[in-house]
Amino acid sequence: MVNVIKSVAMHNFLIATVPVVNLRREPVDGVLQHIHDELQETQILYNEAILYRSENRDWYYAEAIEQKKFIMNNAWKGYPGWVRKGSVILTAAQPEYNVVVKSKAANILEYPDKKGKTILTVPIGTRLRIKEQKRPRNNYWLVQLPDGRDSWILKDDIHNIDGIVSEERLRRNITQTAKLFLGVPYLWGGRSMYLPELKDVATGVDCSGFVNLVYRTNGIDVPRDAHDQWLVAKKINVENLKEGDLIFLSMEEQHDSINHVMIYMGKEEFIEASETGNVVRMNTFREKFGINLKVLNELGFIVSNRKIYIGSVIEQ
């Protein structure tokens, strides 16, 4: 029996039903190119919940509650914007998650076999719910989709969101996840692994979308924007800098306004999604700033009228 939705007011949430959904500032489609698009706010991943606000004929206006944004008076809300109606479904409650996709992409199958029909392919960072099972079947776990259907996913493509690991292991996992994005194109407002097979949406990451996804994949929620990530990060000095920590860069002459973030990889290296036209790549302090980390520290981390900050969201 099909349940008929009688009132949107009874269904406060929207759940993404395609691998990647654009959240737009205005209800107009984005371009399928890796260009600077001011109307592109962020991206929603499959099975991600957003909060319903209003709608027009073809679009819902919603709030991306899993991507926090600082507003004012120490208040936070989800990223607001418009999504195509065909890319989401209405629901009365947020979905429950217990695993996250850790591979670049994972196939969701009809049957627990590599020859089984692929229902869809979802990108890294996608959160799912594994149904109660004592052990995987043929190395596959049983997954419940947003529409209620059962499906299967390879156990090696996911890990437990609440899994407890040591700080050292967590940091290693973060840097290993970050390396999976090497070569992924920069996309303004992008927050997705590059999946060229998706023909109706451009995929890729901007600097903060990249950081958000890497940490999300490892069970840590951080805000969506670089400045907001800086706000929640504990400021640390260079002596306490460890792999997996964050390097923030301010605007010129505006040292309290952050517009870039990078993930520290150890020694003199970090990884970043720098700007339109580039790809995610490894870099060094000398290559980017002309001087090494030691000299930067001696200069108070100010270079070319920009301030560099070191921060951590990992409990130490």
8 Å CB contact between 258 and 240: no
C-beta of residue 119 within 8 angstroms of C-beta of residue 151 = yes
pLDDT digits (tens, 9 = 90+) for 213-247: 999 999 999 999 999 999 999 999 999 999 999 99
Per-residue confidence (pLDDT) for residue 11, from 0 to 100: 63
The per-residue DSSP string of 131-175 comes to PP-SS-BTTEEEEE-TTS-EEEEEGGGEEETT----HHHHHHHHH
Closest CA to 59 of 37, 26, 107: 26
Spans of all domains in the chain = 8-91, 99-160, 167-312
What's the rounded Cα separation, in Å, for the pair 72 and 37?
26
Count of CB atoms situated within 10 Å of the CB of 293: 22
Per-residue pLDDT tens for 149-195? 899 999 999 999 887 889 999 999 999 999 999 999 999 999 999 99
Do strands 76-84 and 254-266 pair parallel, antiparallel, or not at all (unpaired)? unpaired
Condensed to tens digits (0 to 9), the pLDDT of residues 112-127 reads 998 889 999 999 999 9
pLDDT at 77 over 80: yes
Residue 262 has pLDDT above 60, yes or no: yes
pTM for the full predicted model: 0.94
- One of 3.40.640.10, 3.40.50.10800, 3.90.1720.10, 3.30.70.270 is the CATH number of 167-312, namely 3.90.1720.10
- Topology of the domain comprising 99-160: SH3 type barrels. (2.30.30)
Residue 8 has pLDDT above 70, yes or no: no
- Tell me, rounded to whole angstroms, the distance of Cα 280 from its chain centroid: 14
Retrieve residue 31's tokens: 């371009």
